């Protein structure tokens, strides 16, 4: 990131290592807490430098039932010493059970089950929306949902006649079902492409968006950028196998893309190793 031009990035969406002892191929995820927080502060300073003043930084963080404070401790570190301001907090719901009006229980989504007599299954993670000023404008309806009661479209002036309302800060985005982790999702801690797409829509800069993911993994951010037809995606990844898997995902998406897609919108994000 030190080689990137200052204030050249519109949008950052990323999920760094959580320091929870996750088994990555090329990274030791077991630093001391102080060392981990200092490291995060160092790369966050670079994120702040390259981010435009009206840019958005969406940071996905999760804890564990036995280590629930980590996301909050990291957030405090990244909002200290003139780094970032927390503008919005989103809850990524990976699995949800709801009671219907007909008194039926519906469960949807996927989560990693745990075997414990102390903790319940952890079905959500945080997405912190960080900005330089705390006043970056968003396109609240771009990633919104239709009104259940259509009369509200005429009733409320803020709708401007549009059948679309703000989704709010709870995002139910389940993982795609896979049969083989080795061949379909070899990275142990990924987020769905749809999560990045929601951030792209909400930030609202359209095709000209320049997206950065400092922890690319297997390329979910790059694939979201390509599918959203935005101008540029820059990603960094230290693991050669993960990076190759990301390239393979993009190549497969290119082959299945609409042949009418203009060449200048082909899926060719910049993925330096």
- The answer to whether 207 and 11 are in contact (CB under 8 A) is no
- The answer to whether 271 and 217 are in contact (CB under 8 A) is no
Please state, in angstroms and rounded to a whole number, the distance separating the CA atoms of residues 8 and 221: 18
Who wins on pLDDT, 226 or 150?
Answer: 226
pLDDT at 271: 42
pLDDT at 177: 63
Q: Model confidence over 149-197: pLDDT tens digits? A: 787 777 776 777 777 778 899 999 987 765 545 555 544 457 899 999 9
* Structural tokens at position 161: 């006649």
pLDDT at 157: 67
- The answer to whether 90 and 126 are in contact (CB under 8 A) is yes
**Residue 28: what are its φ and ψ, rounded to 5°?**
-90, 110
CATH H-level superfamily of 9-265: Vaccinia Virus protein VP39 (3.40.50.150)
Average pLDDT over residues 6-15: 96
- The answer to whether 252 and 227 are in contact (CB under 8 A) is no
Please state, in angstroms and rounded to a whole number, the distance separating the CA atoms of residues 72 and 160: 37
- 105, pLDDT greater than 60: yes
How wide is the angle at C-alpha 67 spanned by C-alphas 62 and 68, nearest 5°?
A: 55
258, HSE (Cβ side, Cα atoms, 13 Å): 7
Who wins on pLDDT, 227 or 149?
Answer: 227
Q: What is the DSSP string of the chain?
A: -TTSPTT-EEEEEE----SS--B-SS-B----HHHHHHHHHHHHHHHHHHEEEEEEEEEEE--BTTBTTHHHHHHHHHTSTTS-EEEEEEEEESEEEEE-TTS-EEEEE-------SS-----EEEEEEEESSS-----TTTT-B--SSTHHHHH-GGGTT-S-B---SEEE-PPPP-S-HHHH--SSS---HHHHHHHHHHH--GGG-EEEESS-TTTHHHHHHHHTT-SEEEE--S-HHHHHHHHHHHHHHHHHS-TTS-GGGSS--B---
Q: Model confidence over 27-67: pLDDT tens digits? A: 565 678 888 899 999 999 999 999 999 999 999 998 877 77
């Amino acid at each position: 990131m030190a080689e990137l031009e200052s204030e050249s990035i519109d949008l950052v969406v990323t999920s760094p290592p959580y320091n929870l002892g996750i088994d990555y191929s090329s990274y030791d995820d077991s630093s001391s807490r102080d060392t981990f927080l200092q490291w995060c502060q160092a790369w966050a300073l670079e994120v702040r430098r390259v981010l435009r003043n009206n840019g958005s930084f969406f940071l996905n963080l999760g804890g564990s039932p036995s280590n629930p404070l980590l996301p909050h401790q990291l957030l405090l570190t990244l909002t200290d010493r003139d780094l970032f301001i927390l503008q919005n907090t989103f809850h990524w719901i990976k699995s949800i059970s709801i009671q219907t009006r007909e008194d039926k229980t519906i469960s949807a989504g996927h989560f990693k089950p745990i075997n414990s007599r102390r903790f319940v299954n952890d079905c959500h993670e945080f997405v912190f929306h960080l900005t330089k000023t705390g006043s970056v404008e968003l396109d609240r309806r771009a990633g919104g949902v239709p009104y259940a009661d259509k009369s509200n479209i005429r009733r409320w002036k803020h709708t401007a006649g549009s059948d679309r309302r703000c989704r709010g800060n709870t995002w139910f985005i389940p993982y795609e079902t896979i049969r083989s982790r080795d061949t379909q999702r070899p990275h142990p801690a990924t987020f769905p492409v749809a999560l990045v797409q929601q951030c792209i829509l909400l930030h609202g800069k359209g095709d000209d968006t320049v997206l950065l993911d400092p922890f690319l993994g297997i390329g979910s951010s790059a694939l979201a950028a390509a599918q959203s037809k935005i101008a540029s995606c820059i990603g960094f990844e230290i693991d050669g196998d993960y990076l190759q898997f990301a390239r393979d995902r993009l190549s497969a998406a290119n082959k299945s893309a609409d042949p009418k897609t203009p060449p200048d919108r082909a899926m060719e994000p910049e993925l330096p190793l």
